[in-house]
Amino acid sequence: MKPFDIVIVGGGGAGLYAAMEAMKTNPALNIAVLSKVYPNRSHTSAAQGGANAALANKAKDDTVEMHIFDTIKGSDYLADQDAVDVLCSEAPKIIRELENIGTPWSRLEDNTIAQRPFGGAGRPRCCYCSDKTGHTILQTLYEQCLKKGVQFFNEYFALNLSVSGSRSNGLIAMNMKSGKVEAFPAKTVIFATGGYAKMYWNRSSNAAGNTGDGQAIAYRAGIPMKDMEFVQFHPTGLRKSGLLVTEGARGEGGYLLNKDGERFMARYAPEKMELGPRDLVSRSLETEILEGRGFDSPAGKYLHLDLTHLGADLIKSRLPQIREMSMNFEGVDPIEEPIPVRPTAHYSMGGIDTDNQTRTVMDGIYAAGECGCVSVHGANRLGGNSLLDILVFGRIAGRTAAEEAGKFTPGTISEAEIAGQWDEIRSGMHASGHYERYGELREELGQTLALNVGIFREASLLKKGIADIAELKERAKKLRIFDTSDVFNTNLMQVLELKNMLDLAETVAAGAHARQESRGSHTRIDFPVRDDANWHKHTLATQVKGKVTLGEKPVTMGRYELQERTY
């Protein structure tokens, strides 16, 4: 088979932008986009709030520089400042470009793209389309890719890279419709598989498939993961399902209340109140709950997000999805009653280590979007900066891979390697004697993570977490696959996803254990302050002989010196 010039793994915002840009850069290239779900189903569609760009449509005095500063400060100074420069300076251009190709942004009175306030931002610079921003961006990108004739391999599940020595030969993937394992020999591969926060399962706002597959594939191929310990907890997940109530709700003026009816954020962020940065607001909610000021329910303790004072009209016009979700999954109409909420694992700051051009350490392998870590979010991502990240760095990945594809000549992927993968993934179908069940292991993983590697962390908890994950990994070798068929075997896919989550959970817990300080989303009860002298650096987790090995990487500084982060 003739090798592809570019294989893009993932059809979310990052993958689709990469595809579009690669075709634009060099229309002669042979490009494939693989996605385990139809691209329009990708988790980008769940982003409700919006995307940041200093367009200065709403606040005329907003500038790119302010956006840069907010992002660096928000990251607790762990973001690389040159990367943040790229992110924020490209922002206005890329949002306009999306507008130019048909994204239906909401509009201001002067007919420009609408913007609203969002957590951690000094100006209202979050561009939105009511509360379906991600959905409409994804639709637009998918439509444009169909227009450009991008070659889609929908419902293909990426399994592994084929690696010879330190070189990649391309990708190995399973065609869900046929069950066949297929080779995608490729000069370059871009991973754009989204985040890994679903490892927290019921305490996560993510889609079932946000299992960090791309990261796990890269990790197994020896590519380092960066800053994996930084998992963002969103303050307002629905109590029962973990599903998200967007920051937009607070941006539009919603209140957070404890059981005494108190707007408790006054205690933690007197100036910004509900619009403080996520990590701070999440810790505030968790503290309220730990200190007994939460409501009790069989589904766990929770607090109130009150929108009732905003009025029916505003809720209906600006926050219709929130209202629908709240009614569907909690049985609560936010026009009439407050929404029951608690923090939920939401975003993975960590990911595949890349440079500013999205290159990894392996020739011809790139990563972009939530699955990569440039890093622009550092220890804490600002709301509205992730959609921006996937667009900006998705585009850079597409362009870079298109420009560099000519440099690489991949080896071949042998029939034997394909056959080996086929046997390996299906081994659980013939389990005899004692076996493990997918649902149970997944539940246990989510629980130990939420308990021991959650919002508040501490050495002994983390040790327990690490031991639990190791044990689960061992047990996972005996996972039984009950569906033995080839065609659309979702049971097999679940098991493969769980194994990917287990591989990554190990890196999250190891990083969290190593990092003896509190920074951004990472809060150590035993090391409550930021320790710039020892820990102003990225962690790198690499798999060596099947074991996680930690290294480090310096943070690129720039115009902004380290400062205490207060709001």
Ligand X SMILES: Cc1cc2nc3c(=O)[nH]c(=O)nc-3n(C[C@H](O)[C@H](O)[C@H](O)COP(=O)(O)OP(=O)(O)OC[C@H]3O[C@@H](n4cnc5c(N)ncnc54)[C@H](O)[C@@H]3O)c2cc1C
Residue 106 or 500: the one with the smaller Cβ distance to other proteins is: 106
Distance CA 468, CA 452 (A): 10
238 binds ligand X (CB under 6 A): no
Minimum separation from the CB atom of position 528 to ligand X (A): 28
Residue 241 or 287: the one with the smaller Cβ distance to ligand X is: 241
Minimum separation from the CB atom of position 438 to other proteins (A): 7
Q: What is the DSSP letter of 110?
A: T
Binding string, residues 305-334; x marks residues near ligand X by CB under 6 A: ------------------------------
49's contact among other proteins, ligand X, none, with CB below 5 to 8 A by partner kind, is: ligand X
278 tagged catalytic: yes
Minimum separation from the CB atom of position 328 to ligand X (A): 15
350's contact among other proteins, ligand X, none, with CB below 5 to 8 A by partner kind, is: none
- Checking DSSP bridges between strand 456-457 and strand 523-524, what pairing results, if any? parallel
157 binds ligand X (CB under 6 A): yes
48 binds ligand X (CB under 6 A): yes
Distance CA 7, CA 399 (A): 13
Among 3, 13, 277, 334, binds ligand X (CB under 6 A): 13
**Alpha helices (H) along 221-368:** 248-251, 265-268, 278-290, 312-318, 320-330
Binding string, residues 335-354; x marks residues near ligand X by CB under 6 A: -----------xx-------
**Greatest Cα-to-Cα distance within the chain, rounded to the nearest angstrom:** 70
**What is the gyration radius of the CA atoms in the chain, in angstroms?**
22
Name the 3-class secondary structure at 199: helix
147's contact among ligand X, other proteins, none, with CB below 5 to 8 A by partner kind, is: other proteins
74's contact among ligand X, other proteins, none, with CB below 5 to 8 A by partner kind, is: none
75 binds ligand X (CB under 6 A): no
Binding-site size for ligand X (CB under 6 A) equals: 47
386 binds ligand X (CB under 6 A): yes
Name the 3-class secondary structure at 346: strand
CA-closest candidate to residue 365, choices 193, 195, 227? 193
Phi, psi torsion values for 523, nearest 5 degrees? -120, 115
67 binds ligand X (CB under 6 A): no
Among 6, 9, 31, 362, binds ligand X (CB under 6 A): 9
177's contact among other proteins, ligand X, none, with CB below 5 to 8 A by partner kind, is: other proteins
**Alpha helices (H) along 405-458:** 415-425, 438-452
Distance CA 32, CA 395 (A): 16
Residue 210 or 375: the one with the smaller Cβ distance to other proteins is: 210
Residue 246 or 258: the one with the smaller Cβ distance to ligand X is: 246
Minimum separation from the CB atom of position 422 to ligand X (A): 16
37 binds ligand X (CB under 6 A): yes
Q: Are 305 and 339 in contact (CB under 8 A)?
A: yes
Q: Using CB under 8 A as the criterion, which residues of the chain lie in contact with other proteins when the complex forms?
A: 24, 37-38, 40-43, 45-46, 55, 93-94, 96-97, 99-102, 104-107, 109-113, 129-130, 132, 135-136, 139-140, 143-144, 146-147, 154, 177, 207-209, 240-241, 243, 321, 324-325, 328-329, 331, 437-439, 480-491
Apex CA 430: angle with CA 426 and CA 436, to 5°?
Answer: 90
44 binds ligand X (CB under 6 A): yes
Q: State how far Cα 315 lies from the chain centre.
A: 27
Is the peptide bond preceding residue 375 cis, with omega within 30 degrees of 0? Answer: yes
Both tokens of 394, joined, read 């998705």
Q: Which of 278, 318, 457, 565 is catalytic?
A: 278
Burial class (CB in 10 A: 0-12, 13-18, 19+), 474: exposed
* Contact window for ligand X (CB under 6 A) among 3-11, 251-259, 474-482, 523-531: 3-11
51's contact among other proteins, ligand X, none, with CB below 5 to 8 A by partner kind, is: ligand X
Q: How far is CA 165 from CA 222, 410, 541, in A?
A: 10, 12, 20
Among 23, 31, 32, 47, binds ligand X (CB under 6 A): 47
Which residues does 149 contact at the CB level (< 8 Å), separation at least 6?
none
Phi, psi torsion values for 319, nearest 5 degrees? -130, 40
400 binds ligand X (CB under 6 A): no
Residue with tokens 């403080």: 276
**Which helix (H) or strand (E) is 397 found in, with range?**
helix 385-404
Among 40, 42, 326, 354, binds ligand X (CB under 6 A): 42
Among 71, 169, 188, 206, binds ligand X (CB under 6 A): 206
Name the 3-class secondary structure at 279: helix
**Which helix (H) or strand (E) is 145 found in, with range?**
helix 133-148
358's contact among ligand X, other proteins, none, with CB below 5 to 8 A by partner kind, is: none
Q: How far is CA 389 from CA 124, 430, 495, in A?
A: 18, 43, 30
Both tokens of 421, joined, read 């993968």
Among 21, 32, 50, 417, binds ligand X (CB under 6 A): 50
Q: How many other CB atoms sit within 10 Å of the CB of residue 191?
A: 34
Minimum separation from the CB atom of position 501 to ligand X (A): 11
46 binds ligand X (CB under 6 A): yes
* Cα first-last separation, the chain: 57
Which residues does 123 contact at the CB level (< 8 Å), separation at least 6?
54, 58, 59, 61, 62, 66, 117
488's contact among ligand X, other proteins, none, with CB below 5 to 8 A by partner kind, is: other proteins
185 binds ligand X (CB under 6 A): no
Both tokens of 261, joined, read 């009816």
Residue 121 or 453: the one with the smaller Cβ distance to ligand X is: 121
- Checking DSSP bridges between strand 4-9 and strand 181-191, what pairing results, if any? parallel
* Contact window for ligand X (CB under 6 A) among 333-341, 368-376, 453-461, 526-534: 368-376
329's contact among other proteins, ligand X, none, with CB below 5 to 8 A by partner kind, is: other proteins
Contact residues: ligand X, CB under 6 A: 9-15, 34-37, 39, 42-44, 46-51, 134, 156-158, 192-195, 205-206, 210, 213-214, 244, 246, 346-347, 369-371, 383-387, 390
Q: List active site positions.
A: 278
